[in-house]
Amino acid sequence: MTLALIVHGGSGDIPDADVEPHRRGVAVAAHVGWEVLLKGGSALDAVEAAIVVMEDDPAFDAGTGSVLNRAGEIEMDASIMDGATLDAGAVAGVQRVKNPIRLARRVMESEVTFLIARGAEQFAQQVGIPLSENAALRTPEQIANWQECLANPPAPAQARFVSPQGTVGCVAVDRDGKIAAGTSTGGMTFKRVGRVGDSPLIGAGVYADHLLGGASATGWGEAITRVVLSKVAVDALAGGPEPSEAARAAIERLATRVGGTGGVILADTAGRVGHWYNTSRMARAYIAEGMETVIASC
């Protein structure tokens, strides 16, 4: 089987000054995930490891450095899916978990699929994931960003554009040909308290089915949800097109049906990877068997 791994670090109007930290961050995450696959680890382990790296990197809108909601707090969402079994796990509105993707994985392994807020944090404690203070995840950059939004509240239609940081995601194919995908985010800058976007929604922000492939999405969550972007992208792999063609078809649907903006990464069962986006930038990195090194761009 052909090993492959692709990650993204968000799509949007990433400013010039943030390009290099994004590019570097996705490259490191892809390396870490790749090492897991090379050592015989599962696609799920690789996805989790790569996403943890980006959650811990304040360049990205996930885990530490997540954007703040209107109340000045972080609320994080994450999801993970096993393409071999169609098992999935998701959490939303989590405030005190440093690595929400780890929690999503534990939810996947439990009897339920989706836990939110207080219940998700209670579950974290039950399975031995320590809680951290919300304040410990807030970075000075995001506090300044929030203060700027408080002073000059963005018009509702503009609110989705104010964050240069990115959601993160990963799709991996392991030695057994199993595919997994995951997504983690702090959501949209200055979002309403309790707002949940596409990222933790199975089919919208993430999808994996090892008969076809796996996907992780980023961008304007309300639009992505309405077209179920990740499932649409995975279904577009039927018949064996290049994954970038399937990703393009999915993003075209996002744009034409609901005027949405965003990006999606894909890997298919043959270990081919691809991506597409209709924003000005998207941070991404990939590596597959036969390649000497990770290719990262933003």
- Catalytic residue IDs: 167
CB 185 within 8 A of CB 61: yes
**CB of 192 within 8 A of CB of 69?**
yes
**Alpha helix (H) residue ranges in the chain:** 16-38, 43-55, 100-108, 117-126, 134-137, 140-151, 221-227, 229-235, 243-258
Torsional sign, CA 22, 31, 216, 79: negative
Q: Which of 58, 83, 182, 197 touches ligand ASP (CB under 6 A)?
A: 197
Nearer to ligand ASP, 175 or 192 (CB): 192
Q: Which of residues 152-171 bind ligand ASP (CB under 6 A)?
A: 166-167
Cα–Cα dist 102/246, whole Å: 29
Residues numbered 57 to 76 that lie near ligand ASP (CB under 6 A) are: 61
Of 143-151, 191-199, 230-238, 239-247: span binding ligand ASP (CB under 6 A) = 191-199
Q: Closest separation between CB of residue 228 and ligand ASP, Å?
A: 13
E strand residue ranges, 124-229: 168-173, 179-185, 206-209, 213-219
Q: Is 10 in the site for ligand ASP (CB under 6 A)?
A: yes
- Candidates 26-34, 91-99, 194-202, 278-286: pick the segment binding ligand ASP (CB under 6 A): 194-202
Q: What minimum distance in Å lies between the beta carbon of 13 and ligand ASP?
A: 11
18 lies in the binding site for ligand ASP (CB under 6 A) = no
218 binds ligand ASP (CB under 6 A): yes
Structure tokens at 106: 């534990």
102 CB-near residues (< 8 Å, 6+ apart): 48, 52, 129
Q: At closest approach, how far in Å is the CB of 149 from ligand ASP?
A: 16
Total Cβ atoms within 10 A of residue 131: 14
Backbone dihedral angles phi then psi of residue 273, each to the nearest 5 degrees: -120, 160
Task: CB nearer to ligand ASP: give 99 or 199.
Answer: 199
Which residue stretch of 103-111, 119-127, 197-205, 247-255 sits at the interface with ligand ASP (rule: CB under 6 A)?
Answer: 197-205
Q: Taking CB under 6 A as the rule, does residue 185 contact ligand ASP?
A: yes
Q: Minimal distance in Å, beta carbon 224 to ligand ASP?
A: 6
Which residues does 233 contact at the CB level (< 8 Å), separation at least 6? Answer: 207, 215, 217, 246, 247, 249, 250, 264, 266
One-letter amino acid at 57 equals: D
Closest residue to ligand ASP, judged by C-beta, is 221
Which one of the spans 27-35, 83-91, 180-188, 243-251 is the region binding ligand ASP (CB under 6 A)? Answer: 180-188
Contacting positions for ligand ASP (CB under 6 A): 10, 61, 166-167, 185, 187-188, 197-199, 218-219, 221, 224
